[in-house]
A and B are shown apart, each in its own frame.
Chain A
Amino acid sequence: MSRASGDARSEAWQPDADHRKELLRQMLLIRRFEEKCVELYSAAEIRGFVHLYIGEEAVAVGVNQALTADDNIVSTYREHGHALVRGVPLDSLMAEMYGKTTGCSRGRGGSMHLFDVSRRFYGGNAIVGGGLPLAIGFALADRMRGEERVTACFFGDGAVAEGEFHECMNLAALWDLPVLFCCENNLYAMGTALEREQVQTDLALRAGTYEMPAWPVDGMDVMAVERAARRAAEAVRAGGGPHFLELRTYRFRAHSMYDPELYRDKAEVEQWRHRDPIDRLVGRMRDAGELSDDELAAMEDKLVGEIEASITAARAAPAEPVEDLTRYVYSPEAS
């Protein structure tokens, strides 16, 4: 059964107005970045698959608050948000969307394969469930070396149907590994609704059967996500073994750019839009007198300016030379 673990420090955590402003800024950064990506995609400036995180921003922002710069993140192909809050520079993300040399993966990965080893951000993994074994490996290495590092592993509800998910849940618990499993349950595995693919749709309950603390969180409430993530990450860091958060959220936009959304009602999407995590935090801050219209406008202007600058830089950036096509297939010191 799912169990919750308590922790005095996280219980005592009380965010102030400045902290909430920072959470808001990060969520807006993801939202505006991706809205711009849609425009650029429509204008055929960027190509490939682009999976939007719009609607799910509270999850990446809230979880990241619980991590230190020394922790590891293993993410999915819907990872713009995770990369942005991790501090992967906006310019290098935008350049990656353009496939340029200045991109965080030198343009070779694209939207689905953002990497920044200097920030311990290990992808950008586009096989559903395929990142989980990597997270197990990072955590195993840390445990064997006695390092107090948390590996946060993001994946969607779709991954719960993969064999790799179950192998990894078992292994993490069996070996007592410092993994924070972050299941972003947006209710759809591409176009297949959760109840059409899972006999047990309570994913936290499911995870709890692997003998690890697991609980559901309102993924549309950034403060709730941060509170839960702090509690879980502190427990993992303190040697409490793997923890599992089911972050209940919703993707407002299509699965990718090619999706006509035949599988869900517009009314359902509208209903979830009323729970928009950004609107929710803005409303809360306004009610508390923590955010004026001018402040919000200034924040928006600054973000839009930064994003526009990143586009200008990406357009002007050099492309990888074709002569280097087969570079990075093997390491340079090898043959």
Chain B
Amino acid sequence: MSTGDQIKTTYREAMRAAIREAMQRDDRVFLMGEDVGRYGGCFGVSLGLLEEFGPERIRDTPLSESAFVGAGIGAAMAGMRPIVEIMTVNFSLLALDQIMNNAATLLHMSGGQCNVPLVIRMTTGAGRQVAAQHSHSLEGWYTHIPGIKVLAPATIEDARGMLWPALQDPDPVLIFEHGSLYNMHGTLAADAGAVDIRSAKIRREGGDVSLITYGGTLGKTLTAAEQLEAKGIDAEVIDLRSLRPLDDATIMASVARTHRAVIVDEGWRTGSLSAEVSARITEQAFYELDAPVARVCTAEVPMPYPRHLEEAALPQPDGIIAAAREAVG
């Protein structure tokens, strides 16, 4: 039960608190990745944990993504509960062989013998002017793969609460943390802990249009929803939270109420998670729709460096508002 006490915190601190709690509760848990120890984490998430838990459990690695992700898989198979941190999703491609060919397949190709209780955390997304090799949102690719689960904490509460249940999962779980969220300030219940990691959440109720999003675009979508209210449109905002599996029931129930859907996804449009959500709405709720499903995605361009071009490439509240207004008609 919540005592009702609230603390001021950030997304970064909430994630750190989650790692600390996991390390304290289960001595099989350890954190491994590039610069997680002495540096304190590329984004400062693990700052101070080395001093608290020592170099065996807060383990700095060489720049060998494939080896240390694969080592996490092996250690998980051997009974440990590793948290592997990859600096950015772009770098995770150097470990894609291990994630796809090993983590996702071992249980099945061993006939159920080798489950992989591994958590991989990585930063995703743009907004920091770090150009075309550090800014992409490739989580949609990972949602293509049977055998893994994909989470996207978009709130401080989820940053605090998703890690522990992910570690309890017997199978590999990927957690995507949008880089623009780490500095997000807010309050959190002093006794906040594990959250459900299977369902989507309605972050704002509304009856005119369903705005479906996750991760780094939740804030922009909520901003758009507020501005739509001033224009007389009552938007519902769904935070997917779990990208694989998707919570179809929450999405379809919302569409059944609003009869209109706009999907906001920082991934590119073609072959994307937004395409998957759109297809599912068409398959499962076609006769509920009063307008075509709309999508607001990142422009199909490698992320440019200058701020004005980066902003133009990314989904923005204005684009979300325009898509919602068109859907409502």
A residues with a Cβ closer than 8 A to B are 72, 74, 103-109, 113, 115-117, 122-125, 127, 130, 132-142, 144, 163-164, 167-168, 170-171, 174, 326-331, 333-335
Known: A137-B77, A137-B78. 13 other contacts (CB 8 A): A109-B109, A113-B109, A117-B110, A127-B102, A133-B74, A137-B82, A140-B75, A167-B62, A171-B68, A328-B111, A329-B107, A334-B149, A334-B169
State whether A136 touches B67 (Cβ < 8 A).
yes
Closest residue on chain A to residue B170 by CB atoms: A331
B144-172 interface code vs A (CB 8 A; 1 in, 0 out): 00110100000000000000000001110
Closest residue on chain A to residue B117 by CB atoms: A331
User: Given the known A-B contacts A127-B97, A170-B64, are A105 and B111 also in contact in the complex, defined by CB atoms under 8 Å?
Assistant: yes
Taking a contact as CB atoms closer than 8 A, the residue among B73, B82, B109, B149 that contacts A124 in the complex is B109
Docked complex Cα distance between A160 and B87 (Å): 27
State whether A327 touches B112 (Cβ < 8 A).
yes
Docked complex Cα distance between A174 and B55 (Å): 13
Collect the chain B residues with CB atoms within 8 Å of residue A335's CB. Answer: 198, 245
User: Given the known A-B contacts A164-B67, A171-B61, are A108 and B97 also in contact in the complex, defined by CB atoms under 8 Å?
Assistant: no
Collect the chain A residues with CB atoms within 8 Å of residue B299's CB. Answer: none
State whether A167 touches B67 (Cβ < 8 A).
yes
Q: Is B228 an interface residue (CB 8 A)?
A: no
Q: Which of B27-84 contact A (CB under 8 A)?
A: 30, 56, 61-62, 64, 66-80, 82
State whether A108 touches B61 (Cβ < 8 A).
no
Taking a contact as CB atoms closer than 8 A, the residue among A72, A138, A330 that contacts B147 in the complex is A330
Taking a contact as CB atoms closer than 8 A, the residue among A109, A133, A333 that contacts B73 in the complex is A133
Q: Which of B83-129 contact A (CB under 8 A)?
A: 97-98, 101-102, 106-115
Collect the chain A residues with CB atoms within 8 Å of residue B170's CB. Answer: 330-331, 333-334
Chain B nearest CB from A240 CB (Å) reads: 20
Collect the chain B residues with CB atoms within 8 Å of residue A164's CB. Answer: 66-67, 70, 97
User: Given the known A-B contacts A133-B66, A138-B78, A168-B67, are A330 and B109 also in contact in the complex, defined by CB atoms under 8 Å?
Assistant: no
State whether B66 touches A123 (Cβ < 8 A).
no
Q: Determine which residue in A115, A124, A139, A327 has the highest number of CB atoms from chain B within 10 A of its CB, and name it.
A: A115
User: Given the known A-B contacts A104-B111, A105-B111, A174-B62, are A330 and B70 also in contact in the complex, defined by CB atoms under 8 Å?
Assistant: no
